Amino acid sequence: MSCVSQIQLLVLLASLAGGPASETLPPLEEVFSVSELRLYRAKIDYKSRMNLFRKALERNSKLLSAYGKRSDLGAVLKVLADMKALSEHALRETPAREKDRRSRETKRLEIRARRIVESMEDLKLVLPFEYRDDFDDCIQSLEKLRKHLLDQLFGRAAPSGTRSPPEIAHGLLASTPAARTVSLAQSADGFTDEEYTKIQRAQKLDRRTRVFLKIAEDRLEALDERWTRLTGKEPPATGKKRKKKKKKKSRKEEGPLAFHAHWELLHAYERAIDGIMINIDEKANQRRLSGKEIHKVLKRFCENVLQFEPRMETMEKLAVQLDDDDYWLTLEEAKKTTGIARKGCRLGLGGDLE
């Protein structure tokens, strides 16, 4: 091999070894609009900048969808690069105060990033296959940002994927001394310490499903009570009528749920429904239970989902009353997860619950 060829080979190997890490991060002047850049320079506090990054990502997400529909692939690649850069720049921002780490703006950015990732996963499937890597690079940056924000909000127990893995988030935490002391998981899913204990003790699928369903029901009941307190009216009658005896119990708002925000209650409901689906999927895929046992649990779950889904109407009316962005975003997530569960029930049970 000639000397020139050897040099060319070394240069090629060096470039391959460098990979993405050697890429230069585009400056904000190239990824922000003129107005966004002006606001960024004017507002130096962490919360304002998190709010700005959220709006910039939202703007680019809309552009990505529009360009994708037109199959303008050059523009799609440019937007993906800008969104990746925005995610990396947001990661470099440092809060000056501890409370800013758990601010409303931080929560909203994490929720919006999650929604954008979900829409990108759908969009990449309808575009040419050779663009998948560009989508995946951008998604990876957004997920890294989400994990960083979740670590700030909830600690290391927070999930890092679009859907939470079946670990702490869904009560499958190993029974170790260290696991028993974890309290950050409560914030991640919005479950109480008592509920986590019940989940961990419920090793059988049927029993664990019952615990999750109770959590979901309790959160919807608490939100119904807040609707009544806010409007002076009973929640609209939707689906199967709830039993009268529930009114004889102590109000949900007199317990620990009284300290949960509206969006946190709805988030816990969504996590409970998602937790059931993950647990059922796991048992079914690993064939740990017979088909008959899986069908029995699935039937109970689906009977409840059929009652939960119409109650999302009340949750929407509550959202109008509250006019709270956090609640609206969480409601979107809750409706989507409930819809996925509803569809899964229809397919999994062959429509015998219709």
Asked if residue 146 and residue 92 are part of one domain, the reply reads yes
Task: Decide which of 343 and 283 is more confident.
Answer: 343
What pLDDT sits at residue 47?
92
**Integer Cα distance of 20 and 15 in angstroms:** 10
Give the pLDDT confidence score for residue 254 in this predicted structure.
56
Residue 114 in domain: yes
CA dist 339 and 354 (Å) reads 15
Which residue, among 234, 206, 208, has the nearest Cα to 221 in the 3D structure?
A: 234
SS3 of residue 38 by DSSP: helix
Output the pLDDT for position 348: 62
Average pLDDT value for residue range 277-293: 80
pLDDT in tens, 291-319: 788 888 899 999 999 999 999 988 988 88
Query: Which domain-ending residue is among 97, 125, 154?
Result: 154
Q: Is the pLDDT of residue 244 over 70?
A: no
Same domain, 315 and 213: yes
Q: Is 247 exposed, middle or buried (0-12, 13-18, 19+ CB in 10 A)?
A: exposed
What number is the average pLDDT over the span 87-106? 88
Query: Does one domain contain both 203 and 327?
Result: yes
244 in a structural domain = no
Asked if the structure places residue 246 within a domain, the reply is no
For residue 7, tell me if it sits in a domain: no
Residue 97 shares a structural domain with residue 43: yes
Say if residue 196 is in the same domain as residue 95: no
Same domain, 134 and 264: no
Residues 212 and 264 in one domain: yes
Q: Minimum mean pLDDT among 48-62, 143-157, 206-220: which range?
A: 143-157
Any domain includes 247:
no
pLDDT at 6 over 50: no
Judged against a pLDDT cut of 90, whether residue 5 lies above it is answered with no
Residue 201 lies in a domain: yes
Q: What are phi and psi of 24, to 5 degrees?
A: -90, 130
Residue 250: per-residue pLDDT:
45
What is the structure's pLDDT at 276? 92
- DSSP state at residue 29: H
- Please determine, for residue 65, whether its predicted confidence score (pLDDT) is greater than 60: yes
Pair 334, 213 in one domain: yes
Range of 84's domain? 26-154
Q: What is the distance between the alpha carbons of residues 347 and 307, in angstroms, rounded to a whole number?
A: 18
* Same domain membership, residue 330 and residue 184: yes
Clarify whether residues 121 and 179 are in a common domain.
Answer: no
Task: Tell me the C-alpha distance between 151 and 158, whole Å.
Answer: 6
Between 34-48, 208-222, 252-266, the lowest mean confidence (pLDDT) is in: 252-266
Domain identity same for 302 and 265: yes
Q: Which residue has the higher pLDDT, 158 or 273?
A: 273
**Total residues found in the chain within this entry:** 354
Average pLDDT over residues 225-250: 65
Residue 292: per-residue pLDDT: 84
Selection from 336, 331, 337 nearest residue 316 by Cα:
331
The answer as to whether 18 is a domain residue is no
- Of the chain, the percentage scoring pLDDT greater than 90 comes to 36
pLDDT tens, 267-277?
999 999 998 98
Of 94, 126, 154, which marks where a domain is finished? 154
Residue 159 pLDDT greater than 50, yes or no: no
Residue 206 confidence (pLDDT) above 80: yes
Number of domains in the chain: 2
My answer on whether 231 and 322 are in the same domain is yes
| 243: in domain | no
Point out the domain boundary residue: 130, 154, 178: 154
pLDDT at 82: 95
Mean pLDDT of 116-132: 89
Q: What is the pLDDT of residue 174?
A: 32
**pLDDT for the residue numbered 164:** 40
pLDDT of res. 232 = 84
* Confidence category of residue 31, pLDDT binned at 50, 70, 90: very high
Read off the pLDDT of each residue in 255-264 and give the average, rounded to a whole number.
83
